[in-house]
Structure 1
C-alpha cells in the first residue's frame, strides 16, 4: 500500500499531467501554429548537449522533436519552449511534481498518443507526404527528424530505466513507421518485444516493468478492437453504463483477448495487493462484458474478489476519496476522513 505522502505525490502528478493535456502542451497537434519553415536544428543541439537531464528525458524530448519535424506543423517551436523552460530548472518548473515519476507517466501517454495517431492516419495522406518530400523545407525537417531519432535511440541504449525504455521504444517504432522507415520501426519493435519477453521469463521481474508491459499489451489490444474501459466520470463515482460493441469481428476479439491475457499472466506475478494487478483483472471484467463474453467476465470478477478480499460489484468502480480523487478497492459506503488541503 502507498503511504499518504506517496499517494499525495501521485495525485498531484496526475493533476499536473491533466493540466498539461488540457492546455495542449503535451502532444498537441493543434493547427493554431502555421506550417513551419525548415528548422535550424538549434533545439536538437541544445537538448543533446544538456547533460543535466537523464537519458530517458532527453530521449522523450528528442522523439517529440522528431515527430514535430515529420509533421512539419510548427510544433518544434512549442516543444522547444516547453523543453527549455522545464530543463533549466525542472523542479521549479513543475513545482511539487516528482520529475522522475512525471516522465515515467508521460512516456506511456506519448506512446498511447502515437498509436492513436497512427491508427487515425488516412491512407490518402501518403500521396500528400510524398509530394511534400520534394519541398526543401520538408526535406530539411526530415533530415533533422532522422538526427533526432538516432540521438534518442542512442540515449535509450544508455538508459537503465526499463519501464521508460519500453514505452519510448514503442513510441520510436510508431514515429519511424510514420516516417516510412519500416526497417527502423521493426528494430524498435524487436527492442520492446525483447524487453517484454525478458520480463515474462524472469524469475523476479520488476513490478514497474510488468506494469509497463501490461499497459503496452492493452494499447495493442485496443488497436485491434477499440473497446473503451471506463474508469469513472469526473464528479461521479459508482457504476457507469457500458455500451456493448455491435457485432465485433470474432477474429478481432480473439486476437485482442490473447494480448490482454498475456498481460494478465504477467501481472499475476505481482502481489495480490498490487493495484496494477487488481486493475488489470477489473478491466478484463468490463472488457469481457462489452464483447458479450459473460461467463469469462464472471470468472475474472471472482478472481478480482479474491485479490481484494471484498465480494461486491462496487469494487469494479472507484469510490469518492479525498478532494474528489478516486478511492479504489474500498468497501461499499467508504468515506474519506481527509479534508482537502491536508495531503
Structure 2
C-alpha cells in the first residue's frame, strides 16, 4: 500500500465525530453481555444475572464485531455496512454511560475483525475494502497504520499471547495470514512492510480464528466443515478436526480448556478439548417454539457469535435467525435458557464487573 494512500487514510481518520448517545450505567452484579444486532444497527446491554435489557446504543449499519477494552471502560464496534453501502467507521461506546463517538476509517472500508493491542489504546481492525489490517488509535480517533495483507477477504483477526503477532483468516481465499506487528509497524516502505506478512492455506471459507493456550492457531473453515490447527511460526497444518455444518466462529474459553465452534447451518456448537483436540460435546442450538426469520442461509437458527463467561460455568451464543442468546451450562453442555435480543444478533462482548 502506497505512502500516499496511507496519508490519505490518516487525514480522513482525524474527522472522528461524537454523537450524543448515552449507553447506560456501568455494569452491575455479574456484569453485562454486549450484543451487536446486525439488522437493527444497535448494541444491547444484557444483565448477565438474568438477561434483562440494561441499555441500548446506536451503531453504524451492520455492526459485525465488538471488542471490549482491557479497562472495561469502552467497547468498539465494527460498522461493516452493506454490500451496496460499505461501512468505513468504528463506533466507540463509553461503558460508563457517556456519549458514544464515531471514528472514520477513510478508504479502509468493511471493517470486521477487531482486537485491542496490549495497553488498550490501539486496536487492530481487518478492513476488507482495502485488503488491510488497520491499526487505530482509539484515544486520538485516528488511523495510525495500514498494513496491507493482500486480496482474499481478510475477515477475522486473533493475537498471540504477548500481542506481538496477529493472525488473520481470509474467508475468500481460505488462507491464514501471519503478521509480525513490530516489523510491520517499523517498516519504512511497502516492500519492508510486505516482508512482515506471510500466509499459508487453511481451508475453504477460513473464518473463525483464535490462538490456543499452547500458541497454536485454530481456524474454522466453514465451506470444508473443518477446524485446522496451525503451527504459529510456519503456519503448517498440524491437525484437522471435523466440525460439520458451516463452522463460522471459533473461540477458547477463558480458562483455556475448551475450543468453542459455532456451526451456522447445522445450528450446533462443537466443543473440543484444547489440549487433546478431541471432541467433548455437540450442542443443539435450535430453539423450540421460536419463530425463525430469513437469514443469509435461508430460514435457519444460524448461531454465529460465541463467548464464555469469565467467571466460568456458562457460554453465550448469538442465535441470529431467532433473535435470541442461547445460554449454555458448561457442566452438562446443554442450553439452560434463551434471552431475547434485537434483530439478528451476531457479535458478542462481555463487560466484567
TM-score by length of 1: 0.29
Please say which structure displays the higher CA radius of gyration: 1
Higher relative contact order (CA 8 A, sep 6+): 1
Q: Normalized per residue, which structure has more helix?
A: 1
More strand by share: 2
TM-score (norm 2): 0.28
